[in-house]
Amino acid sequence: MSNPSKVLIIYTGGTIGMVEDPETGSLHPFDFDHLLNEIPELNKFDIELEAISLENPMDSSNMGPEGWVELIGIIEENYNDFHGFVILHGSDTMAYTASALSFLLENVNKPIVFTGSQLPIGKIRTDGKENIITAIEIAADYENGRPIVPEVAIYFEYALYRANRTTKVSAENFEAFQSPNYPLLAEAGVHIKYNRFAIRKAEDKPLLARKDIVEDVASIRLFPGLQHKVFKAICDVPDLKGLLLETYGSGNSPTHTWLAEEIIKLNEKGVIVVNVTQCITGKVMQGKYETGVHLERAGVLSGQDMTYEAAMTKLMYLLSCKELSVEQQKQFMQTNLRGEMS
């Protein structure tokens, strides 16, 4: 490839790809063969665009590991033919899918930009057009033959976020996402201002796409009054391999004897238990209070400042790395692999 001008758009489903039927008022996916008719502004780009869709586009609430594998396959198959990729995805689980791909696609050295919208592309006030236009521009943006953003990212409402640092915070506002513990990769105004210090360096290794994803994981969100029998029921799930504990504040939990005992049993069975905070900002510091120290003594790993989405998908990814022992998986769970933790 000579010029940075070829971008593949991948449609997975979701609000952004919907148009309104003028007769019935119902929403249905628009035909991507007519993408330029829907967004004529794209004709002004000196970028070669191609579009492909998942075999069965879906609402993002139905997106999961099977859909991730299909996406990974499309990217792997087309990786050498395009300068960048734009993935149109429903916003509800976008942070999960984008985080998952940031781990499952190893050695990424091209932009893979997720975007979506809060209003369908066919609505007059849609936020989808600007999101698609700028996402494409970022995916095609190279400098001296190298991509400016060689990583998996999310673009939404004038902001570019690292994928595995992003969480959805609003069901109604156009500014639907935040990156609580990491700066923006870029801000789009009159110009796109890249925060180059925050962007990962390109990997000079061949892309490695992992498609075996372990789904034997669970999570428990602590709350005052959580009963032993409820906690135990989740711990006793057959073939459980990983568990996220959503704790209070800086990683604290009640000091019930039964809680530590159940966690110790999990560790003895080789189940990886990770502590993530329920707070939007800040990080887990298990050694700060006794209510966190007792979790550390029981063998719980600190999720530090990872988002819930990043911690869950990273856990699923590491459990799929069969070449690693459980102890190595635990070590990597606490290691910054893709910029997901500080």
Which residue would you say has higher pLDDT here, 17 or 107? 107
- The pLDDT assigned to 128 comes to 78
Radius of gyration of the chain (CA): 21
At 19, the pLDDT band (50, 70, 90 cuts) reads low
Q: Boundaries of CATH 3.40.50.40 in the chain? A: 217-333
Question: Could you give the CA distance from residue 333 to residue 314 in angstroms, rounded to a whole number?
Answer: 7
Overall average pLDDT of the 264-293 stretch: 89
At 195, the pLDDT band (50, 70, 90 cuts) reads very high
- The pLDDT assigned to 292 comes to 62
In CATH, what number does 217-333 get?
Answer: 3.40.50.40
- The pLDDT assigned to 120 comes to 74
Q: Boundaries of CATH 3.40.50.1170 in the chain? A: 6-209
- The pLDDT assigned to 291 comes to 64
- The pLDDT assigned to 30 comes to 60
293 pLDDT more than 90: no
Q: Identify the CATH assignment for 6-209 out of 3.40.50.1170, 3.50.50.60, 3.90.78.10, 3.65.10.10.
A: 3.40.50.1170
Question: Could you give the CA distance from residue 87 to residue 271 in angstroms, rounded to a whole number?
Answer: 33
Overall average pLDDT of the 213-236 stretch: 97
Q: What is the mean pLDDT of the chain?
A: 91
4 pLDDT more than 60: no
Which residue would you say has higher pLDDT here, 141 or 124? 141
14 pLDDT more than 80: no
Question: Could you give the CA distance from residue 95 to residue 133 in angstroms, rounded to a whole number?
Answer: 20
pLDDT digits (tens, 9 = 90+) for 64-91: 999 999 999 999 999 999 999 999 998 9
Nearest to 307 by CA among 225, 219, 203: 219
The torsion angle over the Cα atoms of residues 118, 119, 125 and 126, rounded to 10 degrees, is 80
29 pLDDT more than 70: no
Question: Could you give the CA distance from residue 146 to residue 336 in angstroms, rounded to a whole number?
Answer: 24
Question: Could you give the CA distance from residue 63 to residue 135 in angstroms, rounded to a whole number?
Answer: 21
Overall average pLDDT of the 186-203 stretch: 94
The torsion angle over the Cα atoms of residues 250, 333, 319 and 222, rounded to 10 degrees, is 0
Q: Which residue among 15, 97, 134, 313 is the active-site one? A: 15
285 close to 71: Cβ distance less than 8 angstroms = no
Q: Which of the residue ranges 19-23, 292-296, 300-304 has the most confident prediction, judged by mean pLDDT?
A: 300-304
- The pLDDT assigned to 27 comes to 63
303 pLDDT more than 80: yes
Q: Which of the residue ranges 20-24, 38-42, 271-275 has the most confident prediction, judged by mean pLDDT?
A: 271-275
DSSP string, 146-171: EES--SEEEEETTEEEEGGG-EE--S
177 pLDDT more than 70: yes
161 pLDDT more than 60: yes
- The pLDDT assigned to 88 comes to 93
162 pLDDT more than 90: yes
335 as an active site residue: the answer is no
The token pair at 3 is: 């010029």
At 39, the pLDDT band (50, 70, 90 cuts) reads confident
At 32, the pLDDT band (50, 70, 90 cuts) reads low
